[in-house]
Amino acid sequence: MANRDKCSKGSSTAGENEKRSKDMPVKSKDDMQQRLGLGLKNMYLNVLDEPLPDDILTLLDQLDVDDEDESDAIRSDGNE
C-alpha cells in the first residue's frame, strides 16, 4: 500500500515497529478512513438486505384496517 510509510508514527523504535508489523497489519490514516467508510456503508446495507420482520408487516397491514374501521365508525355515527 502506498501510504504504508505514514503509519510509522512519531518516535516508535524499529523494534516496536517490527513487533507491530507482526501483531497487526500496518494501517495508514487513509486505509482507516477507507475501511471506516466501507464499514459504515456495509453496516447500513446489511440491514437493507434483511427481510422485514413479521410484526412490522402486521403493523403495515393494520394501518389500513384501523383507518377503515375509523371511517366506518364515523359513518355509522353520522347515520345515527
Partner 1 sequence: MSKPEALSPSQFKQQLTEAIPHLRAFGRSLSGDRDVADDLVQDTLLKAWAARDRFIAGTSMRAWTFVILRNTFFSSMRRKKFTANYDELVAERILSAPAPQQEPLHLADLQRGLMELSDDQREAIILVGAGGYSYEEAADIANCAVGTMKSRVSRARKTLESILEEGRFTSASDGHGSMTATALENIIGAVEKIAP
Binding site for partner 1 (CB under 8 A): 1, 4, 24-27, 29, 31-33, 35-48, 50, 52-53, 55-56, 59-60, 63-64, 67
Q: How many CA atoms are closer than 13 Å to the CA of 72, on its beta-carbon side?
A: 6
Residue number with CB closer to partner 1 (44 or 77): 44
**Least CB distance to partner 1 at residue 56 (A):** 6
List of long-range contacts for 21-28, beta carbons under 8 Å, 24+ apart = 26/1, 28/1, 28/3, 28/4
**Least CB distance to partner 1 at residue 14 (A):** 20
How far apart CA 68 and CA 9 sit, in angstroms, is 66
Residue number with CB closer to partner 1 (12 or 33): 33
